[in-house]
């Protein structure tokens, strides 16, 4: 602004000797780590009795019920008509016009989910930068006259941040990391379309850190327990034998989430000294691919994904301003 005012009074006679010192670019590393564990135990027993003249009795109809019977026949025929996905065992017998069938739902399930996302993005001082590694999925939107239009929703690993360099050591960050994925378990089906839900981990905050410092900007620990018991009155209260007249389920979910950010002041380097994650990939020949089952082989005199000594030196160079110079980020093994 001072330069523009001076040039108004002395055009083409003003020499600008002002320079902005220090590093003016910031690289932000974000780590989103999550662990999910779940345990499900379920046990239920269902008895069905079919007699003459379509007379029937059903206990604990949460597994199956008499509405599923469409005809009177032997036990083997009735079994085929009443099995559902939640039933893990079936037994039955019949004598003449009498049929007894039993259904068992026994399940123990253990699930473990690990999520680790490490997006890295570089931005100029005071400028916003955005990053997304994922995709877009279509969402049908009903319109007038029965028409359906399509909108797209983004998902994946995303990062938006704006750095402000306070001095040679401290950086102010306005950061918003996000990790999302499609969840078909809770999908919605409408007008012949299946629209998946989205599981999202998101945080938005403003912090101040020194160059190279790490800070946990968000975290979550969750422990959910759900129990359900369905039983036949009186008979389900009996010890031991009462288990034949009860349906029990137990579910425990544990989740832990942590989001960590690390800013770095960075400088560029000549591209001839850069290495890429693909530099160490060598395609296997037909013998290695078809007979040995190799998808890649070691290349350039070293182990796949291994950096050269020169690259290691370049990646560790630090200037007087504590700024990383040249190679930053990761080499994917």
Using CA atoms, how far apart are residues 23 and 319, in angstroms rounded to an integer?
Answer: 10
Strands (E), the chain: 25-50, 56-59, 89-95, 98-117, 120-124, 129-142, 148-165, 170-190, 193-202, 205-210, 215-231, 246-267, 324-325
Q: How far is CA 107 from the centre of its chain?
A: 26
C-alpha distances in Å from residue 9, one per residue of 2, 4, 12, 18: 12, 9, 10, 19
Residues of the chain with pLDDT under 50: 61, 64-85, 299-311, 313-322, 324-333
pTM of the model: 0.64
């Amino acid at each position: 602004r001072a330069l523009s005012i001076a040039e108004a009074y002395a055009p083409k006679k003003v020499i600008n000797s002002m320079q902005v010192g220090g590093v003016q670019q910031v690289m932000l590393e974000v780590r989103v780590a999550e662990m999910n564990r779940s345990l499900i135990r379920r046990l239920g027993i269902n008895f069905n009795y079919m007699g003459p003249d379509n007379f029937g009795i059903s206990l604990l109809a949460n597994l199956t019920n008499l509405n599923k019977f469409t005809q009177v026949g032997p036990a083997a025929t009735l079994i085929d008509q009443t099995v559902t996905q939640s039933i893990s065992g079936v037994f039955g017998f019949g004598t003449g016009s009498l049929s007894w069938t039993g259904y068992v739902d026994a399940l123990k399930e253990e699930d473990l989910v690990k999520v680790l996302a490490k997006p890295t993005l570089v931005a100029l001082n005071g400028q916003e930068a955005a990053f997304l590694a994922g995709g877009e999925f279509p969402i049908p939107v009903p319109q007038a006259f029965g028409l359906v239009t399509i909108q797209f929703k983004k998902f994946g690993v995303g990062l938006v941040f704006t750095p402000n360099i306070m001095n040679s050591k401290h950086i102010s960050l306005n950061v918003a990391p996000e990790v999302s994925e499609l969840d078909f378990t809770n999908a919605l089906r409408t007008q012949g379309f299946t629209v998946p839900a989205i599981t999202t981990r998101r945080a938005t905050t403003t912090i101040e850190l020194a160059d190279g410092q790490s800070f946990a900007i968000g975290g979550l620990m969750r422990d959910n327990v759900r129990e359900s018991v369905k039983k036949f009155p009186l008979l389900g209260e009996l010890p031991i034998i009462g288990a034949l007249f009860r349906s029990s389920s137990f579910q425990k979910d544990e989740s832990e989430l942590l989001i960590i950010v690390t800013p770095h002041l960075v400088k560029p380097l000549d591209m001839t000294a850069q290495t890429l994650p693909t530099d160490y990939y060598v395609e296997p020949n037909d013998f290695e691919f078809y007979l040995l089952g190799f998808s890649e082989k070691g290349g350039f005199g070293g182990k796949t994904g291994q950096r050269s000594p020169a690259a290691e030196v370049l990646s560790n160079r630090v200037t007087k301003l504590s700024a990383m110079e040249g190679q930053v980020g990761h080499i994917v093994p």
